[in-house]
Amino acid sequence: MNLMKFKKIYFLISLTFLIPGLISLLLFGLKPAIDFTGGSLLELHFSNQENFDLRENNFMDDLSKLYETSIVQSSGENKVIIKGKEINNQEKDELLSKLNESYGQAEVLRFETVGPILGAELLKKTLTAVFLVASIIAFYVWKQFDELKYGLCAILAMLHDSLILIGAFSLLGHFFNVEVDVLFVTALLTTLSFSIHDTIVVYDRIRELKRKHPRSSLENIANAAVLETLSRSINNSMTIIIMLLSLVVLGGDTIRWFVIALLIGAITGTYSSTFTAVPLLLVFEKKKN
């Protein structure tokens, strides 16, 4: 079975997921959390409320009249996380006093404030970290396989996965008000590792087969390498995907979008290692000849 003869189809599938996200990034961008823009986070527990539900109570409407919020989400039974503009302790106490009048005693579980300067610095460090990780991985692959094309194809596959993830969260941010925070950055860096892990396995198998069959074409060798490693890659990834799906369902609102980001990264990383990195390698080889 020659999987590599369908290279154009694989690239078309990639474009199907890349283009909507890229358009969304250009039109809407990402919705940054207070980690990057600055602001305050307040987590409350309403001890006198039974079955407190954001969707059933008038809490959202009442809160919007008191405080400029960006995100309000449930974090457990009778618990709520509020994210919005930066406030000080006095303003926080005034807000609590007004909420207590309508919803009973509210216990402050967490109160955090991030200034805009610190947020901008964190964003700068985040971008630097992503760039460094991608560069080091590409250099490592290049040196391990002694050919620049391996490193270039590996980093293009990582870029493919990263752009799909970032584009997906741009769409989610526009349509569902989903923010990107430090946890999203963690998921993005983890996606790079998902992407490169299986890619190196396939590339290593290609290298071994080239030594055994020096007269065979790279396409035949690549196809054999993919067939030998595909079931292993799918089985390994499915264990991760099943675990992440269970966390999406059972993990709660506070980590749901982080887990969804990991899930997207796991799926795209598994796909790109076989159906993006290897076809790109064949394209480079064809251009070379």
pLDDT tens digits, one per residue of 156-185: 999 999 999 999 999 999 998 898 888 898
Query: Which phi and psi (to 5°) does residue 149 adopt?
Result: -60, -30
Span 250-272, mean pLDDT?
91
**Per-residue confidence (pLDDT) for residue 257, from 0 to 100:** 93
Q: pLDDT digit string (tens) for 101-147?
A: 877 788 899 998 877 666 677 778 877 887 887 788 778 888 888 78
3-class SS at 213? coil
More confident residue, 93 or 135: 93
Of the listed ranges 9-23, 50-64, 273-287, the least confidently predicted one is: 50-64
Distance CA 160, CA 156 (A): 6
Please name every residue paired with 41 in a beta bridge, in sequence order, or none if there are none: 83, 112
**What is the percent of the chain where pLDDT is above 70?**
94
Please report, in angstroms and rounded to a whole number, the separation of the first and last CA atoms in the chain: 25
Bridge-based pairing of strands 106-114 and 69-76 is: unpaired
Of the listed ranges 22-26, 129-133, 163-167, 202-206, the least confidently predicted one is: 129-133
Structure tokens at 33: 């959390």
pLDDT classification of 275: cutoffs 50, 70, 90: very high
CA neighbor of 86 nearest in space, from 111, 117, 115: 115
The yes-or-no verdict on residue 56 having pLDDT over 70 is: no
- Say if CB 184 and CB 258 are below 8 A apart: yes
**Which domains does the chain carry?**
3-33+118-288 (1.20.1640.10), 39-114 (3.30.70.260)
**What is the percent of the chain where pLDDT is above 90?**
42
More confident residue, 212 or 122: 212
Q: In whole numbers, what is the pLDDT of the chain averaged over residues?
A: 87
**Per-residue confidence (pLDDT) for residue 119, from 0 to 100:** 67
3-class SS at 167? helix
Beta strands, E only, 85-124: 106-114
**Per-residue confidence (pLDDT) for residue 289, from 0 to 100:** 63
In one-letter notation, the amino acid at residue 144 is Q
**Per-residue confidence (pLDDT) for residue 258, from 0 to 100:** 95
Bridge-based pairing of strands 39-46 and 69-76 is: unpaired
Distance CA 141, CA 200 (A): 8
**Global pTM exceeds 0.75:** yes
The yes-or-no verdict on residue 51 having pLDDT over 60 is: no
Burial environment of residue 110 by CB neighbours within 10 A (0 to 12, 13 to 18, 19 or more):
exposed
Residue 186: Cβ within 10 Å count: 13
Q: What is the rounded radius of gyration, in angstroms, for the C-alpha atoms of the chain?
A: 24
Sheet strand arrangement including 69-76 = 69-76, 79-84, 39-46, 106-114
Distance CA 236, CA 247 (A): 18
Span 28-53, mean pLDDT?
81
**Per-residue confidence (pLDDT) for residue 192, from 0 to 100:** 84
Span 257-282, mean pLDDT?
94
